[in-house]
């Protein structure tokens, strides 16, 4: 089952976190070396947090999301595609394919990374971004799962498992969520609870008690994992 995307929580979260800026900066450093012409970003988000910071690197930036996307980036060529990946995936291949915080919404059963690689040109790169289990995020998730006596199915583990036999590099990017108050932090954290299956109903008191137990006030570290993966050598984009 896919997870509902909480738009309000996302907007609030991006206002208080350094994450998108830090991740965009790291991706930019990686991709400029390739002198890329085209990018496909899957799950761009409502306001193109990464897209607007990266699109000037490319001749054409294709921003695809199942929901409407709106952002402006002067002097950039942007193609907005509203659709579901992989069902509505463009047929062509791209220099760079970017999937940031979207795999948790695409559970699937097969190897999603392989399909994403097939959407890249053989000389291109797939870049996947997910929360790292390092830092406060991981401690928070592990403690939540421990208290509930349930396993935590993190996107991070899934990506690492799917990449086990594929050459790749993994970067760690530090980021911090600085909320205006403990209550605001508890609200933001709901968005970080990526797990496959039903959305966990996390009560505010539960989050507050967890934060107390971990000694966290309103500054919360959310290290980001970036995987840089070569495009698939051959193959159809839908294979």
Ligand X SMILES: C[S@@+](CC[C@H](N)C(=O)[O-])C[C@H]1O[C@@H](n2cnc3c(N)ncnc32)[C@H](O)[C@@H]1O
The CB-of-86 to ligand X minimum distance in angstroms stands at 7
| Span interacting with ligand X, options 95-103, 147-155, 171-179, 209-217, rule CB under 6 A | 95-103
State how far the Cα of 217 lies from the Cα of 85, in Å rounded to an integer: 38
The CB-of-146 to ligand X minimum distance in angstroms stands at 25
Rule CB under 6 A: say whether 42 interacts with ligand X.
yes
Rg (alpha carbons) of the chain, rounded to whole number: 18
Rule CB under 6 A: say whether 223 interacts with ligand X.
no
Rule CB under 6 A: say whether 112 interacts with ligand X.
no
**Binding to ligand X (CB under 6 A): which residues in 54-93?**
64-67, 84-85
The CB-of-225 to ligand X minimum distance in angstroms stands at 13
| Span interacting with ligand X, options 38-46, 70-78, 169-177, 204-212, rule CB under 6 A | 38-46
Choose between 15 and 123: whose C-beta lies nearer to ligand X.
Answer: 15
Rule CB under 6 A: say whether 100 interacts with ligand X.
yes
Choose between 112 and 186: whose C-beta lies nearer to ligand X.
Answer: 112
Rule CB under 6 A: say whether 102 interacts with ligand X.
yes
| Span interacting with ligand X, options 44-52, 138-146, 207-215, 228-236, rule CB under 6 A | 44-52
The residues facing 131 across adjacent strands are 224
Q: Residues binding ligand X: what is the number (CB under 6 A)?
A: 21
Choose between 208 and 221: whose C-beta lies nearer to ligand X.
Answer: 221
Give the up-direction half-sphere exposure of residue 181: CA atoms within 13 A in the CB hemisphere: 3
Question: Judged by CB under 6 A, which of 57, 106, 113, 159 binds ligand X?
Answer: 106
Given the rule CB under 6 A, which residues bind ligand X? 5, 10, 20, 42-46, 49-50, 64-67, 84-85, 100-102, 105-106
């Amino acid at each position: 089952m896919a997870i509902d995307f909480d738009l309000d929580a996302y907007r609030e979260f991006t206002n208080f976190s350094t994450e998108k800026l830090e991740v965009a900066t790291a991706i930019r450093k990686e991709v400029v070396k390739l002198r890329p012409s085209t990018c496909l970003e899957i799950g761009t988000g409502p306001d193109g947090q990464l897209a607007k910071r990266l699109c000037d690197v490319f001749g054409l930036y294709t921003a695809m999301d199942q929901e409407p996307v709106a952002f402006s980036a002067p002097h950039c060529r942007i193609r907005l595609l509203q659709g579901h990946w992989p069902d509505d995936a463009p047929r062509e291949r791209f220099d760079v394919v970017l999937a940031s915080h979207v795999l948790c919404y695409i559970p699937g059963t097969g190897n999603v990374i392989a399909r994403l690689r097939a959407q890249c040109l053989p000389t291109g790169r797939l870049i996947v971004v997910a929360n790292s289990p390092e830092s406060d995020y991981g401690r928070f998730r592990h403690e939540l799962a421990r208290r509930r006596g349930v396993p935590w199915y993190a996107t991070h583990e899934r990506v690492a498992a799917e990449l086990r036999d594929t050459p790749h590099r993994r970067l760690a990017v530090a980021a911090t969520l600085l909320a205006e108050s403990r209550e605001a932090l508890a609200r933001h954290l709901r968005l970080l609870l990526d797990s496959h299956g039903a959305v966990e109903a996390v009560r505010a008191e539960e989050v507050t008690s967890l934060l107390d137990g971990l000694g966290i006030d309103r500054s919360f570290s959310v290290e980001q994992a970036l995987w840089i993966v070569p495009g698939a050598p051959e193959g159809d984009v839908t294979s």
